[in-house]
Structures are given as structure tokens and as C-alpha cells.
Structure 1
Amino acid sequence: MNPVRVSGIRIASPLVAGFVWAFIWLGLGTLALSILLYSSSMPETKLLSWVFGVHGAASLAGGFTSAKRSGKRGWYIGAVTGLLYALAVVIIGFLSQDIGFDSRMGLLGLVAALAGAFGGMLGVNAGSGSNTRRL
């Protein structure tokens, strides 16, 4: 008889897994920025660099996860995950708040792609299929 596995959901696609983890980190970063705004006297106009930092961290986490699951071509799959993440964020911002397209959207895509590629390079080497020798 096969054991029943109740805990945890396994996402088969590396890109989807990275995308999900990127949005989890985006939620945590947004919560942290909200607490920062609430507890300090920092105005919302000074928040742009922090927002790009949160998007970069979320893209890095997504690229790490997707490349770790993939096990190959880390920078490539990480950059693709970062670009898809940035595209989803831009589309959600456009549809929900009617935000126009400007140079910040291109900068967001660049930050997300670079952070995702870096996370992918780290993730592919952290995966279980890495070629490391044991001494």
C-alpha cells in the first residue's frame, strides 16, 4: 500500500515554482515596507529605491528557486523568471491602478532580470544535482 502524502504541494514546473516564491517574497517585502512607513516618519516619495530593492530580492529568490529545481542553465532560467515576474508586476500595476508605462518599468525589468540571473547562478549550484565531489 502506498503512503498518503498530506503535507506540502510540489510544483512540477521550475518557472512556476520560482514565480510563486517571487510573489511570496514580494508579499513579505511589501509587509516590511508598510511597517517601515508606519513606524517611521519617512515620506512615501522617498520609497522608490526601497521598492526596487524589494523587487530585486523577490526576483533573486524566484531565480534561485527556479534554477535549483531546474538543475541546469541557472542564469538563463533565473533571468527568464525575473523578466516574467517584472512583466506580471507591470501588468498588475497597469490593470489595478492604471499606472502608465515609463522609464521605471524598463528599470524594473532590468533589475528583475539581473537579480533573477544572479539568483539562478546561485540556485543551480545549490541544487541536489550539482557536480560536487565528496571527500
Structure 2
Amino acid sequence: MNLEAQKIITFLSLGLSVALAGAGGWLYKELYSVKHALSMSPASTSEGSVGRSVAAEKEKLSEVVKEQTAMKRQLWTTLQAKYKNAVCQVFSQITEFNWTEPYKTPNQTEAAGSAFFINDGEMITNAHVV
């Protein structure tokens, strides 16, 4: 085997090793962040009474929100008048048309986030929601 072929094989194996190490590091980070988030939930804190009181408050708040669920066919202005200065949850279904390949099925994604009513039926939210 000549020297040039050995250099190519060495660089390819080095690049593959770096890519595998990076993928392993990313996977570890993702798994650790999920495990860490689950271990930090209020119900699992060492101060049991604090965790229970936070859980009880969340339950009270969720009951209130369930009672104020909006109907699909209500107008925004009606909702805004009813829930002034309210925080609401927004669910978006996004369809992206590909103009270079119009015969393909459009890409569809979903997004979710919070929004605030700011005036007559208008809401403000972050870009990742829409």
C-alpha cells in the first residue's frame, strides 16, 4: 500500500472517530437532560410538604383552566373580552409547500407554546409557535 492511500485511510478513520464521539456526546447530553428534568420535578423534592403544596396548587390551577376552555367556533374578540389579559396555549399545525418539487406531499409539522391577548382579538407569541 502506498503512502497516499495510507494518508487517506488515516484521515477517514480519524473523521469517523470524531463523528462517532460527537454523536455519543450529544446522545449522552440528551439523555442526561431528560433524566435531570425528571429528577427535578416538584413532587420528587426532598421537602415533601413543599412538593405536595406545589402539586396541589398546580391541580387547583388546572381545574380553573379546564372550566375556561374555549369553543372552536367562538370569535377571537369574544374570547378576548371574556379572558382579558390572559395567557393562553396555542397549538399550530404548519404545512410547508415545496415550490421546487410541487408534486410531493407538503411537509407538515406541529408547534405549541403560549401567547398573550394584547388587544381586540390579537395575540402575541414567540416565533417557534407559528
| Shorter-normalised TM range | under 0.3
**TM-score computed with the length of structure 1 as normaliser:** 0.23
**TM-score computed with the length of structure 2 as normaliser:** 0.24
Greater per-residue helix proportion: 1
Greater per-residue strand proportion: 2
Higher relative contact order (CA 8 A, sep 6+): 1
